[in-house]
Structure 1
Amino acid sequence: MKLAGLKSIENAHDESVWAATWIPATETRPALLMTGSLDETVKLWKPDELTLERTNTGHCLGVVSVAAHPSGSIAASASLDSFVRVFDVDSNASIATLEAPPSEVWQMKFDPKGTTLAVAGGGSASVQLWDTEKWKLIATLSIPRQEGPKPTDKNSSKKFVLSVAWSPDGKRVACGSMDGTISVFDVARAKFLHHLEGHFMPVRSLVYSPADPRVLFSASDDAHVHMYDAEGKSMIAALSGHASWVLSVDASPDGAAIATGSSDKTVRLWDLGMRAAVQTMSNHVDQVWGVTFRPPGGPGPRAGRLASVSDDKSLSLYDYS
């Protein structure tokens, strides 16, 4: 497996680009790449030539997370302005505006069926689940405090939730916190199951393997990527190679690889069979906040694609084969 650089857009946004995800293809158009930036905008890009399809405004502070509904017709953006904006991809019409108090949204993901939006609730130390039909809050998954010798008020800030991921069967939600813990929840029962341990610094990004609903990957400021059996509560492997914080991780659709982005300015491709980095891409000149694999399916070329975004304002596209 390997990555080959296809194209980079140097000033894709006016400020740092902190978020990127693919909007799945529909019957009428191919997949689109969506990016969110501290310049307060969300941009939609055509997938192969990286030409700008549209710029969406509507936030009054930087955009920190973007999420795409599995149907490809709806997307959401979360901003430091305390709002989540849900919109129609093709018309940009607003569908819903979800209020979130300051620092209460750091990352969002739609579940595999598209019925629920999970919002990592920052300082509230919880994940909120929103119904995507009526846009009502249906559950708040709160992280319980771990037993310790002396519980203090200082602990609450360490549970600040930075990342969230759904298992491919939609039965589990995992979230990563500032203190390095990962919490796993049973969605149907809205019940906390257990913590996954091993990181000691913030867990910035999480993704389940598309090939195995038990396997979870985590990216942390401790410069490591961990591979867990999220059901068995055990670490399968710790992958090292980055020289600094690992800010993002995504799994390839074939389940054979993961890609990571780091504050060491590199994107790395990891072979899960070898459990090692097999390639390092140095397209960016500042920290890499997002890496995202293109989902399979849809009209047009179906080649594997990976995109990365960075504090250097740029957007890079790679061929994955």
Structure 2
Amino acid sequence: MKLAPLKSVDNAHDDSVWAVTWIPATSSRSSLLLTGSLDETVRLWRSDDLVPDRTNTGHCLGVASVAAHPLGSIAASSSLDSFVRVFNVDSNATIATLEAPPSEVWQLKFDPKGSILAVAGGSSASVKLWDTSTWELVATLSIPRPEGPKPTDRSSSKKFVLSVAWSPDGKRITCGSMDGTLSVFDVARAKFLHHLEGHHMPVRSLAYSPYDPRLLFTASDDAHVHMYDADGGNLVSSMSGHASWVLCVDVSPDGAAIATGSSDKTVRLWDLNMRAPVQTMSNHTDQVWGVAFRPPGGSNVRVGRLASVSDDKSIALYDYT
């Protein structure tokens, strides 16, 4: 497995780029790259040449996360303004504006079928689930408060929820918190199952293997990448290699590798058989907030792609083979 630099776009946004994902191909167009920035905009890019396609505005503070519906028809963005905006990819028209006061909204992800949008609820210590046919709030998955004496404001704030991921079968949601814990939920029963432990600093990103609904990868400020059996509640492996905070992680479509981005300004490719980094890319000049592998599908897609975004305002695109 190998990454090869393909193209970089400097000043892709007017401020730090914090979020990136791929919009799947449809019958009428190829896949697109979607980025979100502290400049309050969301931008769509043609996936092979990184030519800007269009810009989506409407947030009044920086964009913290972006997500794409599995059918490629709609996308969503969350912002520090506490709103989620849902829009039609091809027309750019706003479909819904979601708010869950009094909390912030952070990372968001559509479930594998596209019927539910999960939103990490910041200081609400919960994940909120929105029905994508009605855009109504259908469930709130709350992290249990610690047992024992009444928790202080300080201890409850440590459950500030930063990140969220769906298992590939859609049966589980896991969220990552500021205190380093991960919380696993049964979606159908809206029931908390257990915590995953091992990190001791914020977990900013997590991703399931596309082939194993139990296998979960996490990125943390403690500079480690963890591999968990999320159903069994076990830490399978702790991997190190970055020199500083690990801010993002994604799993390759073939399930053989993960990519991570870090505040050490690098992107790393990890071989999951070796459980070690096999390549380091230094295309960025500031911390790397997002990495995303292009999903399979679409015409004329013969090779893999990885995209990364950074505080340096740039987007980098790589071949993955």
- Amino acid in structure 2 at the alignment position of 1:308: S
2:177 & 2:13 partners in 1: Cα distance?
A: 28
| 1:170 matched residue in structure 2 | 170
The one-letter code of the counterpart of 2:275 is: R
**How much does 1:81 deviate?**
1.5
Deviation digits for residues 82-141 of structure 1, max 9, x if unmatched? 211100000001111101336521100000000000000001000000000000000000
* AA at the equivalent of 1:315: I
Normalization by structure 2: what TM-score? Answer: 0.98
Question: 1:27 is paired with a residue of what secondary structure?
Answer: coil
Mean Cα deviation higher: 129-138 or 296-305? 296-305
Name the count of aligned residue pairs: 321
Distance in 1 between residues matched to 2:150 and 2:123, nearest whole Å: 21
Matches within 5 A, 1:13-28: 13-28=13-28
The alignment-based identity, stated in percent, is 80
Aligned partners of 1:81 and 1:102 also within 8 Å? no
Stretch deviating more after TM superposition (77-86 or 130-139): 77-86
What amino acid does structure 2 have at the position aligned with 1:14? D
Tell me the distance in 2 between the aligned counterparts of 1:262 and 1:28.
36
How far did 1:152 drift? Answer: 2.5
Look up the match of 1:210: 210
Residue number in structure 2 paired with 1:247: 247
CA-CA distance at 1:150 after TM superposition: 6.9
Using the TM superposition, name which of 288-297 and 59-68 deviates more: 59-68
Deviation at 1:300, TM superposition (A): 2.6
1:70 corresponds in structure 2 to: 70
Deviations 1:173-227 (A, max 9, x none): 0000000000000000000000000000000001000110000000000000000
Match for 2:151: what amino acid?
Answer: P
Alignment of 1:220-299 (within 5 A): 220-299=220-299
Tell me which moved more, 298-307 or 251-260: 298-307
Give the letter for the 1:179 counterpart.
D
CA RMSD across the alignment: 1.0
TM-aligned CA deviation for residue 56 of structure 1: 1.0
| CA apart distance, 1:146 | 2.9
Matched, 1:82 2:58: no
Note the C-alpha offset of 1:148: 5.2
Please state how far the C-alpha of 1:61 moved relative to its aligned partner.
Answer: 1.0
Q: Secondary structure at the match of 2:157?
A: helix
CA–CA separation in structure 2 for the residues paired with 1:244 and 1:103: 29
Checking the alignment, whether the CA contact within 8 Å between 2:289 and 2:311 is kept in structure 1 is yes
**8 Å Cα contact 2:81-2:104 kept in structure 1:** no
**What residue in structure 2 maps to residue 320 of structure 1?**
320
Matched to 2:52, the amino acid is L
Q: Distance in 2 between matches of 1:150 and 1:200?
A: 22
What is the TM-score when the length of structure 1 is the normalising length? 0.98
8 A Cα contact 2:143 2:192, kept in partner: yes
Q: CA deviation at 1:154?
A: 1.4
Alpha-carbon distance in 2 for matches of 1:24, 1:181: 31
Contact residue 80 and residue 103 of structure 1 kept, 8 A = no
- Equivalents in 2 of 1:103, 1:23: separation in Å? 27
- AA paired with 2:298? G
Distance across 2 between alignment mates of 1:19 and 1:27:
26
Distance 2:102 2:239 in 1: 34
Q: Are the counterparts in 2 of residues 296 and 302 from structure 1 also a CA contact under 8 Å?
A: no
Q: Report SS of the residue matched to 1:91.
A: coil
Asked whether the 8 Å contact 2:19–2:63 carries over to 1, the reply is: yes
1:145-187 CA distances to partner (integer Å, 9 max, x unpaired)?
2335773331111000000000000000000000000000000
